[in-house]
Amino acid sequence: MKPQVEIYDTTLRDGSQGEGINFSVADKLRIAEKLDSFGVHYIEGGWPGSNPKDIEFFAQAKKRKFKNAKLAAFGSTRKKNTPVEQDDQVRLLIEAETPVVTIYGKTSMLHVKEVLRCTPDENLAMIGDTVRYLKGHGKFVIYDAEHCFDGYKLNAEYALATWQAAEKAGADFVVLCDTNGGCLPNEIAAITKIAAGNLNCKIGIHTHDDIGLGVANALASLEAGAVQVQGTINGYGERTGNCNLTSVIPCVALKWKKTSVPAKSLPKLKELSQFVDEIANMRHNPRLPWVGSAAFAHKGGAHVNAVQKLASSYEHIEPAMVGNERIVLISDLAGRSNIVIKAQELGFKITNDTPELKAILNRIKEREHQGYEFEAADGSLALLIRRALRHEEPPFHVDAYHVSMRRDGKQNACKATVTVRVAGQKAETVAEGDGPVNGLDSALRAALVRYFPKVKNIMLTDYKVRILDSSLGTGAKTRVLIESTDGRKEWGTVGVHDNIIEASLGALVDSVEYGLIRK
């Protein structure tokens, strides 16, 4: 069955124009495969005429099978005053051997006169010739009408003539582009209606987010007659980015209940969003609508209390529908309910009436005041709750440590000594490391492994340092967040101190302790 809204992904082309985004050919292939298995309808792989990396991408992509998506090569209309069959950039589009070719051309009289510097008729001929030539080579042709809305506002008659030139030459789609991203939803809707009323081919929409309306404008156009939406995962793109497909896709499916990507893909939306960020080496934006880690995070005590009673009271959808989850933030705003939910998540049998609850709450507030943060440090939080509930000795103590560092020419070496106490016995070990924290980590493990063989399985996966009050310079407080795994589960632990080594040791000790006690 044909979907009601087709998803055209341009993360690999328009998205790669974004600041800080630089995909290798291997990155592009991995993202293309992921998008294909997710079920988008078109993947724009790049512009072979603009760089050799994109030519290489299409050479590699030819050898692969895409199950759901059609691959598109992107380019422009032929150069002015040049026969289309002699245009190198157009030749490269055909050599990319993709089923779909997308070309852009000028709608705006301003751009024809001032940027292209050719006659209005030559521009129409450039559009018509190129579309016709690509159709003659058996391509499915998508025509992107650049500056379509601004051009229409400037000279409606000429704008219409450019779209009709593409249609007459056989274009399968005319895609209306808000290239500068400055239009409003009502303008987008009105002009889309006019285009749909004057063209027989299908209409698509391509928007940018310059005034924060990329998604809203795409939806306005889809409501007014467009059936294809172009955008990028996580809204990557030049300036403030393109229309964000990780917002458009769930709006179409869950708010409009229209068909687009396969329904079974929606719960994988967050995973897709995180995957693309990881490949791009971008930090996942917690405030991304639908898929951000904060999208269903509750902080205010009253909200948490209500969510506990009825999830829908402060949530617009069930987070799992897009693969997200409800998070209860532990913060100084927290009421009892937050702690209870979080403690239950961590496996503690605790209710609103547990007598130790007040002590736990006070301890968290006190620690937060010192600079601790428990949102990503579930391991440290679990230990804090556990210590309040059960009056047990921790499995080990660190009684003393010593770290030394020296540099000899280009070589530097770090040595750490740690003294631990386990059940009344003391053990001292020495280890070397690449740096002081690595040395401490090695020495701590070497000391503990004879008592707790499980220590061997615990691995550090990430180490992050944040200076809390930078105005104090080197005297500032340091917060260290460590992520660890035992191969089955990940956890985070936190340490805070004026001294970075001490802060690191605090997080390290929590990491090992939590790894030992967790079920």
For residues 241 and 181, the answer to whether their CB atoms sit within 8 Å is no
Cβ-based nearer residue to Zn ion, 9 or 14? 14
Q: Which of 339, 445, 416, 326 is nearest to 384 (CA)?
A: 339
Task: Report residue 81 as tokens.
Answer: 């005053």
Q: Which stretch binds Zn ion (CB under 5 A): 10-18, 132-140, 389-397, 467-475?
A: 10-18
Q: Which stretch binds Zn ion (CB under 5 A): 12-20, 105-113, 411-419, 483-491?
A: 12-20
Contacts of 115 (CB under 8 A, 6+ apart): 106
Which residues sit opposite 100 in a β-bridge?
Answer: 72, 140
Which residues sit opposite 423 in a β-bridge?
Answer: none
Binding mask 266-295 toward Zn ion (x if CB under 5 A, else -) reads ------------------------------
Residue 483 interacting with Zn ion (CB under 5 A): no
Q: Which stretch binds Zn ion (CB under 5 A): 14-22, 120-128, 265-273, 482-490?
A: 14-22
Which residues sit opposite 495 in a β-bridge?
Answer: 480
Q: Which of 258, 278, 271, 288 is nearest to 322 (CA)?
A: 271
Helix, strand or coil, per DSSP, at residue 377:
coil
Minimum separation from the CB atom of position 15 to Zn ion (A): 9
Residue 178 interacting with Zn ion (CB under 5 A): no
Q: Which stretch binds Zn ion (CB under 5 A): 6-14, 150-158, 166-174, 373-381?
A: 6-14
Q: Which stretch binds Zn ion (CB under 5 A): 7-15, 65-73, 119-127, 307-315?
A: 7-15
Minimum separation from the CB atom of position 44 to Zn ion (A): 10
Cβ-based nearer residue to Zn ion, 8 or 374? 8
Positions 351 through 410 that interact with Zn ion (CB under 5 A) = none
> Cα(228)–Cα(250) distance, rounded to whole angstroms?
15
Cβ-based nearer residue to Zn ion, 215 or 385? 215
Cβ count within 10 A of residue 70 = 16
Minimum separation from the CB atom of position 14 to Zn ion (A): 4
Helix, strand or coil, per DSSP, at residue 141:
strand
Burial class (CB in 10 A: 0-12, 13-18, 19+), 385: buried
Q: Which stretch binds Zn ion (CB under 5 A): 11-19, 90-98, 261-269, 459-467?
A: 11-19
Minimum separation from the CB atom of position 238 to Zn ion (A): 7
Cβ-based nearer residue to Zn ion, 115 or 413? 115
Contacts of 409 (CB under 8 A, 6+ apart): none
Contacts of 489 (CB under 8 A, 6+ apart): 518
Cβ-based nearer residue to Zn ion, 218 or 341? 218
Minimum separation from the CB atom of position 75 to Zn ion (A): 14
For residues 267 and 320, the answer to whether their CB atoms sit within 8 Å is yes
Minimum separation from the CB atom of position 201 to Zn ion (A): 20
Residue 14 interacting with Zn ion (CB under 5 A): yes
Cβ-based nearer residue to Zn ion, 14 or 87? 14
Cβ-based nearer residue to Zn ion, 14 or 210? 14
Give the count of residues interacting with Zn ion (CB under 5 A): 1
Task: Report residue 325 as tokens.
Answer: 């989850």
Cβ-based nearer residue to Zn ion, 14 or 27? 14
Minimum separation from the CB atom of position 206 to Zn ion (A): 6
Cβ-based nearer residue to Zn ion, 14 or 36? 14
End-to-end CA distance of the chain: 48
Minimum separation from the CB atom of position 237 to Zn ion (A): 7
- Strands (E) located in 70-196: 70-76, 100-106, 140-146, 173-178
Cβ-based nearer residue to Zn ion, 237 or 292? 237
Cβ-based nearer residue to Zn ion, 171 or 494? 171
Question: Which residue's beta carbon is nearest to the bound Zn ion?
Answer: 14
Burial class (CB in 10 A: 0-12, 13-18, 19+), 487: exposed
Residue 167 backbone phi and psi in degrees, to 5: -60, -45
Minimum separation from the CB atom of position 120 to Zn ion (A): 23
Eight-class DSSP state of 232: B
Residue 54 backbone phi and psi in degrees, to 5: -75, -35
Cβ-based nearer residue to Zn ion, 115 or 465? 115
Q: Which stretch binds Zn ion (CB under 5 A): 13-21, 182-190, 325-333, 355-363?
A: 13-21
Minimum separation from the CB atom of position 216 to Zn ion (A): 16
Whose tokens are 């051309």? That residue is 105
Q: Is the Cα dihedral 454, 459, 460, 461 positive or negative?
A: negative
Burial class (CB in 10 A: 0-12, 13-18, 19+), 62: exposed
Eight-class DSSP state of 311: G
Interface positions with Zn ion (CB under 5 A): 14
